[in-house]
Structure 1
Amino acid sequence: MNHLDWTPPPCDRLTVLPAGRQWDAVRTDTRTARWAFGFLDAIERSAAIVDSHTGSVHWLVPPGEAARAPYDQWERLRHHVTVLTAGPTVHYVGVPAGHLCDGGGPRWHVPAAWSGAYVTQTHLLAAVLGTAVVRAHGPAGLAPQCAVCGRAMDRASLVTTVGRLRRDDPLQHLETHPTCAHAVLGPEGQREAAEVAGW
Structure 2
Amino acid sequence: MTKHPMIYLLGDTEQHSYPLILTIGREPNQDLELDNSIGHLNTAEFSKQRGGVFVTAYTQIAKQFIGDNTLISQFKGYCLENNASPILFANAYPKAIKNDVVNKVQLRAQLTAEEIRQHISNLFNCALAKRYALVIQHGVDNSTASQIAQQTVKQYCHELGIDYITSAYFYNGNSEKIQRDLSSVKSNINAIVAEFTKKR
TM-score (norm 2): 0.25
More helix by share: 2
More strand by share: 1
TM-score (norm 1): 0.25
The structure number with the bigger radius of gyration is: 1
